[in-house]
Structures are given as structure tokens and as C-alpha cells.
Structure 1
Amino acid sequence: MAPSKIRIATASPSTQPTTPKTLAQIAQLARRAASNNIDILLLPEAYLGGYPRGTNFGCVMGSRSAEGRDEYLRYFQAAVDLGDIVGEGGAGGLEKWVRRELVGDEIPGAQGQEGDKGEKVKNKRGDGTREELERIARETGVFLVTGCIEKAGGSLYCSVVYVCPKMGMIGKRRKVMPTAIERLVWAQGSPATLRAVSTVIRGVRINLAAAICWENYMPMLRQSLYSQNINLYLAPTADGRDTWLPLMRTAAIEGRCFVVSSNMCARKDGGKQQAKTNGRPVLSHQPQQQPDFSAIADPSPFTSDGRRSSLVTEEGFEIALPSPRSGSRGRQKKIRRQSVFDEDGNEIVLPCCNEQGDVEVEAEAEVDDETVSTMTPKTSLSSTAASAAPAQTAKPGSRQTFKIPVIDRSTGAKTEEDFVSRGGSAIVSPFGDVLAGPQWEDDEGIIWADVDFEDCIRGRLDLDTAGSYSRNDSFKLTVGGLDLSPLPYH
């Protein structure tokens, strides 16, 4: 990888039943990312705490049920406490929180105790999640950005944290406009939290900011991020529809920035990485007032015995790249082609498998001088769906699931595997090219791309949405509580 290239990555993991287990999964993903020289890793919206897909918490207009209140209690208890306050308009403590200067962050040393020198002693606010994320970033060297459900006071916020390996938490933002029924359980965050943050990796300054899920459909919110001179636009989401990727390509072209999106791949009805509450699929429910972080194991490094690569054309078609007959290590692989047919007679090509039926593919492709790579652990065909499989259309008002036809090797019969959310994480260039993904039906892999952030400047030759092209002499944007001064290039 050239010195000027930064490796950015994303994934589509699903929330685990408890906070410590989700944090353990973050640790595993971060270690795998580090072993593949990944610099920045984005994880989905509400990944810590869970996205309550498919539930209404017992609410109808004018009435709330006792069962729904109990369900909300469990959801509140599963949210993480980052040691922040509510703040004015849901702004939290902002820089005071980042610098640990909130009341209670430091307490005077107790007088008369053995060894007391009267100095102030650091007091850990929150439930330890902040410190655990900082530890993971520090030990792996990976800059982490992840969504979380954060509790402060008596309210919940859909938040995103920026975790620097050297400085720890350098920023946090709260979703300013929860979508539809999300407003029942998530409070509105202040626009003041839209402030972008900066990091420097191998001498390259990266100005990054996140727009959460349907905030990306708010043109003025997108413009508030572009105005801060960002070159990395992050979009953790719960939207896995086919309309999402075109929106990401639009944001990349508008802002002349790299765009990284992350959405959970969640399996239906007690799938491998999903729990249930009252028969409804909700991604995290276990009450955890004070997580026991000693439960987090140190997973072994990821070994990419199987890697699958694909690219997306300008028209949006995904092309699966062929697997080499021999790997870079010189060992021969027995590859056979697998495919199935859907009800309409369309052939769906499945990942190549060895004679035991395990995915065992390695591939890398050069696309416009950008190395696109994906890695996926070995999986069985009986639990693997083709990324090109068409999704079913959900009826209005119903919870959307997707049925993917696969072949049961033991019987040869067609079976179906359902997904509550198919994922679809992706990485897009400042010119709208899809560099990695979309990552469908894969809750274990990591996708990445090696990028040159000077492409953001190259793209501003003809389009600078936040500068001269914005005609800021005629059009004005102000955001309450947010300084829109652009961040520096160097």
C-alpha cells in the first residue's frame, strides 16, 4: 500500500445479546482490521444497544400498554452510559465531555485516607463502555466509529462516537431527527453535535463527520457537514433498501468526499446473531446496568482462508470476480461452481466452494487504481445466500424481511433463509464510484478500500459545494449552536 493511501473499512455485524458480547465482537473486528492494515473502521447505527426493528413498544395513538412499558424498560437498561449529560437541547457536555471535565469526572481525594495527598482523583463516569472502546482502539491502532444507543438522564439518544487510538474519544454526536416511530424512544439530539472531528494518519489529515440513517435525506444537514470541509463522510444506518446506495453515491459526489456506510445484517427469528423479545426481533435486550468487561475474551487473529471479491459497475450491477486457482501462498484449491435458480428461472451464482462445501475464495482486483478487498470467514452453503439474490418487496405497514433461496446439500431441496436486514455496507469515492460492497447477507466479513484523500481536492476542480460553487453570497446556511468554520487541510 502506497504511503499516501489510507485503508478505510466497514462491516455489517449484528448486535449481540449483551453489551459485553457486542464489545467483544468490536474487539474481534478491530483486531482483524488491524491484521489487515485497516486504519479506520465504521460500524452500524445503534450497534451498541441495538436497533429495535419490528416493535412499537405497545404504543398506539392515545394509549400505551404495560407490556410495552416493560419492553422499553429492558431496552433502556440495555443502552450504554457514556458518562455524558443531557445538555441544552440534547447537546450533552460536548467538549467538556470529551476532555472529562464534567462534574463528577474529578473528585477531591478523600481526606484522612492512607496515602492521601489531597490531589484530585479521576472518577469514572458511566458504565465503562467509553473506557472499553478507548482500550480497543488504543491496543489495535484502529480508529473506530460506531453507533450506539446512549442513555443520559431519563432519555435515550441514537449516537455515534469517534474513538482515536491515541487520544481516545475525540467526539460524539446525537441524531438530531429520529425517524418515524423512532421518536417514541429516542430523544432529539442538538445540531451542535454535528461538529466534525479531525485525525492525522501517516501525515494525512482526515476531517470526518457522521450523518445517521435518514439524516442523510436532509439536504441542509448534509450541507452542514460539507461546509466544515470534511473529506470522509460516514453514514451508519438501518436502511438496507436498494435506494440507499444511490443516496451514498450522491453524497460522495455532492461533498467531493469519500463516503462509508454501515448497516447491520440481521437474521430473522433467533438467527445466529439475533435475540428476541416477546416474539419480536429486537437486536439487543439483555438488561446490563453495569457491564462486566472481564467477560470480553481476546479472540485469536482472523485468518482469511476464504475471501470473496466483487465490484459494482457504473450502472449499479454487481460483478463477482473469479477466484484464482492457486492462492498467494502457492497452495492449490479445488474450486467448483455452485448456482441455484429462483422461482422466475433466474440463475444465482453462489460463492465457490471446495469439496466439503466451505467457501474458500481469494481475490483482489484493481479498479481505477484502488485495491478493493473483502474478507469472509468460511461459511457453509446451507447458511450462505447469494449477494445477487433479489429481495422480496414488503407490504405497506409490515416488517420487511428478505427470503433468499439456497440449496440444502443433504437433500438437494430448495430452502429459504430470512433476513430482517440484509446489510448493504459500502464505500464510495468522491466521484461516486463504488469501491467496496455493497455487502449483502454477510454479518461476519469486513470490506475495505485503499484511498487517496487528495482525490477530494481533485474533485473540487469543478465542484465545491461548500465553497465558491455554493454561491454563498446568495445562499446562507446557519445551524443553531454549530460553528460551520471549515477545518484545515493540513
Structure 2
Amino acid sequence: MKVKVGVVQATPVFFDIARTIDKLEALVVDGARQGCQFLLFPESFIPGYPRKFTFGAAIGLRTDGGRELYKTYWQNSLQLPGPELKRLEKIARDNDVYLAIGVTERDALNGSLYCTLVYISPTEGYLGKHQKIKPTGVERLVWAEGTGEQSMGVFDTKVGRMGGLICWENYMPLARMRIYQQAPQLYLAPTADARSTWPATLQHIACEGRCFVLGCNQFFTRTDYPEEYQKFLTEEDDTLSRGGSAIVSPQGEFIAGPLWDEEGILMADLELDDVLKSKLDFDVIGHYTRPDLLPFSPKTS
């Protein structure tokens, strides 16, 4: 089975959910026009990854300005379910393309925010989500820990079995193993990590999991922040995220990318049987396991 996929390295319209979805729609139309059956968007593409923000917080200190900024962030985050989700479902349906979109998700009941990957089918609509189970460092100030028991699944779709982890969750070996145990063909790794070392992480996951790995990041510069937010940057800050998106084969070889220092859609035609063929000599959930010596039973409920 062959499937054409794309990873979208793009800049959101920062802290503006409506205009960001406008841009997302244009990108989906472009990708679908070029034959993509599945498109992946970066971590917190909606409404943007708040790099360099402190939200006016330090140990023992919060400010009114920081709370006001959090309110703005919350108001422009995605509610599930909600009208913006309906619009995303329509975009997928109108373009006959599967979508996985990194968003900041707001909880209308408790007021918390989550770093979430949303899965949408062109025929079935919203399939489900994965909430980041361990935000990294100061991300914990604004993102709550996700409900892993409900959101660490792999979705069986017409374009392959897909699932994955967000950014540095991919450095959690047992989290990776939980995904591997569900036999993904497309392993998704949206991120905000633009270090030169990140592509090697994608290669490792591909070799370890024997799956195609789709890594996706934003490209972001100083001028992409509205003027009122540029006060959070230093004089040296120009390019805030270089990108580094890539598509990697089950043998750990780059098929497309890494893409640096520009927006773009990386595309590749994938032969899903390559996942099966790659397991001749290594299968992390099959013949290359020793459950008698190394048992692993993740909590699933």
C-alpha cells in the first residue's frame, strides 16, 4: 500500500486562532492539490508555541500582566469539542485528507491548558487526541499534564496506523514502547525543538520502532511575533525556530528533509509494506524482545 504524506513546516498567526486556521486551510488545500492523503502540523501550531514567554511568573511571584497574557493564550486555544474543531473537520472533509494538528487545548470547565495532538479523518471527523503527558521545563507553568490513559493510542486509518508523541516525550523510553506496542506504521513526532540534534532523534525512533517517522516543527522569526510580544526577546533573537522537519524511513534514512530556515511542506510517497520488510532483523515488539527478562505492561485504564 502506498500513501502520500506531508509534514507542514509553517508559521502560525501567533495567538490568533481564527487567522491561524485560515492559514492552515490554505496549506491543506495546497498539500491536497499535490496529492497528499495525510498532513502533519507542528506542536502547538494553534495558536503558536509561546517561546521566551514567562507569563510574569517566578518562584513565589505572579503578575497581573502575566495572568492577562495567560487569558489571551487560553482564549485563542482550541476547545474540544467546539466550533473551531467543526471547521477543522470540514477542512479535512472538503480536501479528502487526514490531519494531525498540534494545538494548545483549553478545558472550558477547569480552565487548564494542554499540549495536544488532534487527529481528524476526512470521512469520520474527529478521531481522538494525544495530550502531552509531561510538559518540558517551564512549559509546566501553562500546560497541565495530559491524561495518558485515554490519549496514548494509535489510530487505524485508511492511510495507515498512526500515532506518536510530542516533542521531548520522545525521550521517554517507556512512552515510546507504549506506542510501539500498538504497531504504528506512521509515527508522528511534532515538536518545538529546532536543535541540530533533533533529526538524529527521529532517525533513532525510526530504527528502533521500525516505522516511518514524521517530524514536524514551526519556522518562526522575531517579526512573526506581534510587536507587543517582542519585548520578551533579546537583541540576539532573530530566528526563534529554524524548523528541522523531516520524514524518515523504517531503516532510519531521511526520505525528505531536514528542512531548515524556511516554511514548506515536505512530501513523500511511502510504501507501507516497507515497515513489514524492515522487521526481518529487528522487531521491538516481536522477535527482538525478551519479555521473560524485560517485562513491560503499561497502564491502559
Report if TM-score (shorter chain) is over 0.5.
yes
Which residue does the alignment assign to 1:143? Answer: 98
Q: Which runs of 5+ in 1 are unaligned?
A: 84-125, 283-397, 402-417, 483-490
> Within 5 A, what are the aligned runs for 1:304-453?
401=237, 418-443=238-263, 445-453=264-272
Identify which of 255, 258, 274 aligns with 1:455: 274
Residue 79 (structure 1) aligned with residue 30 (structure 2): no
- Aligned-partner Cα distance in 1 for 2:267–2:3: 10
Residue 55 (structure 1) aligned with residue 10 (structure 2): no
Q: Is the 8 A contact 1:54 1:399 kept in 2?
A: no
Offset, 1:43: 0.5
Alpha-carbon distance change, 267 to 278 in structure 1, aligned in 2, over 3 angstroms: closer
Look at both structures and tell me which one has the larger radius of gyration over its CA atoms. Answer: 1
Which residue does the alignment assign to 1:187? Answer: 144
Alpha-carbon distance change, 267 to 459 in structure 1, aligned in 2, over 3 angstroms: same
- Aligned-partner Cα distance in 2 for 1:174–1:399: 34
- Aligned-partner Cα distance in 2 for 1:430–1:57: 40
- Aligned-partner Cα distance in 2 for 1:463–1:279: 48
TM-score (norm 2): 0.94
Q: Is the 8 A contact 1:7 1:39 kept in 2?
A: yes
> 1:134-187 CA deviation, whole Å, 9 max, x = no partner?
000000011111100011121000001111111111111100000000000100
Cα-Cα RMSD: 1.7
Alpha-carbon distance change, 256 to 280 in structure 1, aligned in 2, over 3 angstroms: farther
TM-score (norm 1): 0.59
Aligned-partner residue type, residue 227 of structure 1: Q
SS at match of 1:215: helix
Alpha-carbon distance change, 239 to 457 in structure 1, aligned in 2, over 3 angstroms: same
Offset, 1:474: 2.1
Identify which of 174, 177, 181 aligns with 1:223: 177
- Aligned-partner Cα distance in 1 for 2:235–2:216: 20
More helix by share: 2
Residue 46 (structure 1) aligned with residue 44 (structure 2): yes
Residue 255 (structure 1) aligned with residue 75 (structure 2): no
Which residue does the alignment assign to 1:168? Answer: 125
Aligned-partner residue type, residue 20 of structure 2: T
Q: Is the 8 A contact 1:157 1:175 kept in 2?
A: yes
Residue correspondences, number: 297
Q: Percent identity?
A: 38
Q: Is the 8 A contact 1:257 1:429 kept in 2?
A: yes
- Aligned-partner Cα distance in 2 for 1:233–1:474: 27
- Aligned-partner Cα distance in 1 for 2:69–2:44: 17
> 1:62-110 CA deviation, whole Å, 9 max, x = no partner?
1112221111111111111122xxxxxxxxxxxxxxxxxxxxxxxxxxx
SS at match of 1:30: helix
Offset, 1:221: 0.6
Alpha-carbon distance change, 478 to 267 in structure 1, aligned in 2, over 3 angstroms: same
Residue 267 (structure 1) aligned with residue 265 (structure 2): no
Alpha-carbon distance change, 473 to 35 in structure 1, aligned in 2, over 3 angstroms: same
Alpha-carbon distance change, 200 to 149 in structure 1, aligned in 2, over 3 angstroms: same
SS at match of 1:173: strand
